[in-house]
Amino acid sequence: KVKSQLEEKEGKTFDVLTAVEFKTQVVAGTNYFIKVHVGNDEFMHLRVFQSLPHEEKPPSLHSYQSSKTKHDELTFF
């Protein structure tokens, strides 16, 4: 759901964007830390915020880290 937000921030399109791992952090909503495969041997870590259900807002890409590998540990950032 945040692919277009990531593509806009990166200034490029991704043919592949597959989540391979995630962690959550409950705040006033939920932060999702997601490791995604973006093609070849390239990975990115995304921080996606999902507000509380009554706010009726879509998930938003809060921040991301590029140049990650399959074996990089997914941590809170």
> 3 — phi, psi (to 5°)?
-55, -45
For residues 73 and 21, what is the distance between their CA atoms, to the nearest angstrom?
Answer: 10
CA angle 32, 25, 13 (to 5 degrees): 15
Contact criterion met (CB below 8 Å) for 33 and 75: yes
CA distance 26 to 31: 6
Alpha helices in the chain (DSSP H): 3-10
pTM for the model: 0.87
pLDDT tens, the chain, 77 aa long: 899 999 999 999 999 899 999 999 999 999 999 999 998 889 999 999 999 999 999 999 999 999 999 999 999 88
